Structure formats: structure tokens, C-alpha cells
Amino acid sequence: MTLREAPELIAQARAWHDQDPDETTRAELATLILAAETGDTQGTVELGRRFGARLEFGTAGLRGELGAGSNRMNRVLVAQAAAGFAAYLLEKHDGPGAPSVVVGYDGRHNSAVFARDTAELMAGAGVRAILLPRLLPTPVLAFAVRHLDVSAGVMVTASHNPARDNGYKVYLGGLDHGSQIVAPADAEIAAHIGRVAAEGNVLELPRSTDFELAGEDVVDEYVRRTTSLGSAGKAPVKVVYTAMHGVGWEVARRVFAAAGFAEPTVVQAQIEPDAAFPTVDFPNPEEPGALDLAFATATEVGADLVIANDPDADRLAIAVPDAAGGWRRLSGNDVGSLLGWRAAERLAGSDVDGTLASSLVSSPALQAIATEYRLDYVETLTGFKWISRAGGLAFGYEEALGYLVDPQKVRDKDGISAAVDFLSLVSELADRGLTLADHELAFAEKFGAFASSQISLRVDDLGDIARLMARLRDKPPAAVGSLRVDHIDDFSGGFGSFPPGDILRFALEGGARIIVRPSGTEPKLKVYIDASSTDGTAEERRTRAASVVAELDAAMRDLLA
């Protein structure tokens, strides 16, 4: 930011300050403006960070750091988003009455405020607005879109992002059946938001408190429908549960009890919603150390299973005891494959056809299951906005701990439904005198062994990701470790039925593969590594697949260093 640009930047910041209804961010901005006006270089630079760009609305809605400015999550930005989305719904509505929206929120900083602002602005614009009765998991909001048969849904959450973040996730009803938005809706909504932002002061937007408060029957029906996915067997299963400082426990507890399971032992330090997430650096069950308290609790009580939801409970992590007396967290591919097998068995038992779907970065194991059971299989772009749209969907998952086990109820990943389904599996195995380890060996015997790993390279400068992707395109490796690269699929210009995307897929000899892409929600470069084996015994297959993945993982870390 040059000194010549500073007056324009200060004027932009003042206009934002004057329409900000939040005392905290207004005071924060006033301090920065004063610093910039008095020639403080750091103040000017910080204003440049806040106003040099705008937090973009896309297929993931909005997500970013809380704070004042157009490049942060705050009440001004949310007001512009709500008014713009309302305009979109009014423009698209062609039926009787008014378009409608249901709004939910989690326990993050300002989630309840952003949700109420959204409900008031929607109602003020002429949209029928329904606010969920209290902070609740994302799957309950996604369910409510279908259950209430509304035009759209908004969930205020940043899912598993750091404590300083919040977000705004958008769903569409009608022909979209409650799935998250995809193109071209994202661009059309963004255009309306841009118009609202350009036209003036959000304090002048019409508001109304004439919105509805959803009844407890919405939550009750979610619990009832989710409970039907499984039930407890005769053999007891001792479970430890953590909500990761999020909002999952109240609903999960009701579902487990209604399904007949004994109440889990909870990780007390993480069971209540806490927007500071004091016991974890990142409230994501995939992150190293995030489950340490759960493992300690499970060891103390002699648990058979650890169940973890992320803060908005749309993701599920599972861990089981290992042979060394510690705990082994199953990967998203592990859980997805076992739940996919379970879904295929259900379909076979009911003599009903269905589709299994997973993202292109998830394990090829689900396709092997679909082939064995003569089911349709669909590979999609990453994100449940795509998985949920697969025709005839019976089960879908992505390796990032997301599973959709009941598409008739909800069209998004659902960590609570997946938890009761997985718990039912473990209970059924226990009734037969089997462990999850036995079941995993049976999987390798039936379908082959599949191993995977993931590298998440977090960066401070997003330009580093672009430079690494350019380097891989300009000078692609001829081999990774000891395995020759057979060919490379570059999705930048589109590939097959996939639209253009910043994705590289390396096919290696022996059927192994590596996929590299930027994260869609975090400042990370992500690398997905998969290998499989059908040679030898189940144990030999598992050892071979794991060995190949370990070699490729080490080689890719060296390549990206």
C-alpha cells in the first residue's frame, strides 16, 4: 500500500466504520484509521490487509477471519451477504407466496449475532425467515431445509477452522434438494451481494423482527430419523465421545440413547461449546494432537471406541485400541470404506439399486465395493455440494472425515448419522465375537487392501501454493520414489466430465496414484496418496499397500520441500 493510496483507503475504511453496527469492530477500525491518518505505516498496512480485497462469496459461501473490513467476517459483510442472498431468492422465486429460508448457527464467536442479522434482513426483504431455536449442528440445519421444504438454508459456522474464523454456508431447496450451492448460483448470489455493497449503507437496509422461531419438533424429527439408522446389540460397547468444544453433544447424546446405546463417557474439557477452543490448536480431529484428550480418557476408562465430531458435527473421526496399548485413528478413507460396505450390504438386503459416490481424492476402495455389488459409482469433485448431487445416491463420502449415510434425510455430510451407523457396526461385530480389526481384514480379503495418506502443507503466503503447482506442471517428476509416473492428468483445462480446476493427478505404475490440489477452505496445499494390493493373504495385501504409500509419502515430502 503506497502513501498515495492511503487517503482512498482511509475513506473506504471510514465509510465501512460508519455503517458498522458492532461496537467491537467499529472501535477496532477507528483505531486503525487514526493510526493511518497520523502516518503510522503499520496502521496503513493493516488497513490495506482489511480493505485491499473482499472476502469472496463462492461455492463454500463465506469463510474467513473475524474482524473489521471487507476482507474479514463481520456484521457489515454478513448484512451485505444476507441482503444479496435475499435478492437472489426473490429473483428466482416463481411460485405462490414468498421464498423462504431457514437459518442455523453454531457456538463460534458472533454466530448467533450473524444468524439473527440474517433472519431480520431476510424478513425485511420479504423472504419468509425461520431461525433455528438455539445453536445446533450443521446437519440439523441441512435437514431442516428439506424437512421444512424451504427455498434455502444458511448455516453460520466455520466448521473445523481455527477459533478466529467464522463462515456462512448456503443451501438451496427445490430442485437442489437441500444441497449446498454450486455454479452458477454462487456467481449469481455474489453479484447481488456486490450490488448491495456498492449501493450504500447496511444500516439503511430494511429489517424486520417478524421472523419465525423453529420449534423443537425439527430437532425431534432429526433425532427420530437418525436413530432409525442403527441400534445397539447385546454385547456392550464402551465409547468415549468428544464434541471438540462444539455443538454436537446434545443431539448426539439423544440419538445414541434413542438407539439403545449406553451413554458414552465424554471428554469433559471439550464437551460444551467454547468458541475459544482452549484445548486444541485447530479444532479438527484430523490435526495432530486434537484427539489426545479423547485418547487419554479412553485409556483411563478402558474404552472400545473413540467417537469425535468436529465443532459443527458434520464430520466424524473414529479411533480404536491398537496392539501396542495406544490408539489408532482410522482415516476418513478407512471409515468411508467400511460405511460404504455397510451401505452396499443394506442395498443388497433390500434388493434396491443405488449409487455410491466419493470425491476424486478419496480412496478407490468405494469403487471396488460398487463393482463387487454391481452398484453404480460416481466420482465427483471435492466437496459434498457435488457428492450430494449424484443421481440415485445411497451413500457418499470424502476422505476429509465426511460421510452421508442417509441421503433421503439430509444432503450434506453428517457426523452424527455416521456416528450411530458406525457404532451400530461395532456393536453388531461384538455380538458375533469380532473386532473392528477382524472386519478390516475381511474387507481386504473381499475387496483387496487399500492404503492412503495425506500431506497438508500449510502456508503463510498463498502465492507459495501457486508456485508449487506451477513447478509440478513445468517440471513434472518422471518417477516418485521407485515408481515410474505412467501419466499425469491436468484438470486445469477440464478433464473428462470434470470442469477446469487446479488439480494434478499422477498415475504411477502398479496402480498407485497421487493427487495434488490447493485446499478450498484453508491456506494449504494438499497431497493425496493411494495404493492397493490384491496379492497374497489379507495381511500381506495390507502390508504391501501400506509400504507403497509410505514410500510415496516420503518421496512427495522431499519433492515439495
The residues annotated as belonging to the active site are 159
Kindly state the DSSP code that residue 323 receives in the 8-state scheme: T
Alpha-carbon distance of 55 to 262, in angstroms, equals: 45
Are residues 279 and 270 in contact, defined by beta-carbon separation less than 8 angstroms? yes
3-state secondary structure 363-409: CCHHHHHHHHCCCEEEEECCCHHHHCCCCCEEEEEECCCEEECCCCC
Q: Phi and psi (nearest 5°) for 214?
A: -60, 145
* Greatest C-alpha distance within the chain: 75
Q: How many CB atoms lie within 10 A of CB 557?
A: 12
Q: Which helix (H) or strand (E) holds 31?
A: helix 23-37
The torsion angle over the Cα atoms of residues 3, 4, 5 and 8, rounded to 10 degrees, is 120
Alpha-carbon distance of 74 to 451, in angstroms, equals: 42
- In sequence order, which residues have a C-beta less than 8 Å from that of residue 222 and are 6 or more positions away? 139, 140, 143, 144, 147, 251, 409
Give whole-number Cα distances, 179 to 238, 385, 410, in Å.
35, 6, 8
- Nearest residue to 525 via CA among 559, 495, 551: 559
Alpha-carbon distance of 85 to 75, in angstroms, equals: 15
Alpha-carbon distance of 378 to 359, in angstroms, equals: 8
Local structure of 153: helix, strand or coil: strand
Give whole-number Cα distances, 151 to 31, 82, 141, 173, in Å.
41, 14, 13, 5
Alpha-carbon distance of 445 to 431, in angstroms, equals: 21
Alpha-carbon distance of 100 to 32, in angstroms, equals: 39
Alpha-carbon distance of 67 to 32, in angstroms, equals: 12
Strand 179-180 to 165-172 pairing: antiparallel
- Crossing angle for the helix pair 538-560 and 436-447, to the nearest 10 degrees: 90
Strand 393-398 to 355-359 pairing: parallel
3-state secondary structure 252-321: HHHHHHHCCCCCCEECHHHCCCCCCCCCCCCCCCCCCCCCHHHHHHHHHHCCCEEEEECCCCCCEEEEEE
- Would residue 501 be called left, alpha or beta, if left means φ above 0 and alpha means ψ between -120 and 50 degrees? beta
Locate 352 and state its grid cell. Answer: 434396491
- Nearest residue to 251 via CA among 230, 274, 225: 225
